[in-house]
Amino acid sequence: MLAFDSETTRLLDIAYQGADITRRRQASFDALRPNPGETIVDIGCGNGLLTAELARAVGPEGRVIGIDPSRDMRSVGEKRCQDYPNVEFVEGLANSLPLVDAIADKAVSVQVFEYVDGIEGAISEAMRCLKPGGRLVVSDLHFGSFIWFSEDPERMAKIKASWDRHFVAGDVPERLPGILKEQGHHVENVAPVTLVDHVLKPDGLAIMMMQLMRQYATANKHVDPDIANAWFDEQIELSRNGRFFFSITQFVVSARKSA
């Protein structure tokens, strides 16, 4: 698993304000359709960017509860949302939410369920906290959609194989609709958000993943540091030569709690 420590938090905070991740966050926001006066739970709120956007949307009569297990992440979120009295940050896990039943109108989770062991339980927990008819929006990447060009496919495969070990499941989107229906809920929509880069953008998803993947692979001794650095440098060079290509798809799943 990836450790969401202070350094990882710093890298994410930079990239999460870039165009790529703003776009996928906006897709989750739009699917949630926040209204004034609503109570919304942000599961795995991280650095609080979406939390702040939701706080503005629900207004002073509404309430946003950000839940995250990482103290470093919550600290950044608390600082970001310090001017919003309608926001509360709480320590907690997606499959064990520290909330009473039916407290919220809506709940959202962006790129969290892929780190959860037992997403069935996480869905049950999210729905438990919603009022009857409440909306749940879950957005996760599908790593089966991962395309990344390299002139050294074997080395690229080693880096990707290392990264596959940082999450619990890379196929969450294809499983979510079925699980929701099995639990008796109504799936409203599944919307893809494909991120494609043919240039290496300084604030893009690709450069963030390059930094994190190199760090993760070497810290966990999955590959030799020389191999990881050579892969990183190759991607920089491919970009300089106009040959860079990266693509991955996130799926936004919207559902309604059964009455």
Question: Which CATH number does the domain housing residue 148 bear?
Answer: 3.40.50.150
Q: Residue 254's closest CA among 194, 182, 191, 192?
A: 191
Return d(Cα 51, Cα 13) in angstroms, integer. Answer: 14
Dump pLDDT digits (tens) for 46-81: 999 999 999 999 999 999 999 999 998 899 999 999
Residue 112's CB: how many other CB atoms inside 10 A? 23
**1 in a domain, yes or no?**
no
**120 in a domain, yes or no?**
yes
**Cα 237 from chain centroid (whole Å):** 28
**183 in a domain, yes or no?**
yes
Question: H or E element: which one contains 147?
Answer: strand 130-148
- Out of 5-19, 64-78, 107-121, least confident range: 5-19
Dump pLDDT digits (tens) for 187-230: 999 999 999 999 999 888 999 899 999 999 999 999 999 999 99
**129 in a domain, yes or no?**
yes
Does the structure show a pLDDT above 80 at 37?
yes
Three-class secondary structure of residue 45 per DSSP: coil
Give CA separation, 4 vs 10, 72, 84, 113, 174, in Å: 10, 7, 24, 15, 26
**51 in a domain, yes or no?**
yes
pLDDT score at 120:
97
Three-class secondary structure of residue 244 per DSSP: coil
pTM: predicted TM-score of the whole model, two decimal places:
0.92
**206 in a domain, yes or no?**
yes
**What type of residue is 143?**
F
Domain count along the chain: 1
pLDDT score at 16:
77
pLDDT score at 15:
72
**216 in a domain, yes or no?**
yes
Dump pLDDT digits (tens) for 226-244: 999 999 999 999 999 999 9
**Would you place residue 18 in the very low, low, confident or very high pLDDT band (cuts 50, 70, 90)?**
confident
Three-class secondary structure of residue 186 per DSSP: strand
- Average pLDDT of the chain is 94
Range of the domain at 210: 6-256
Does the structure show a pLDDT above 60 at 4?
no
**103 in a domain, yes or no?**
yes
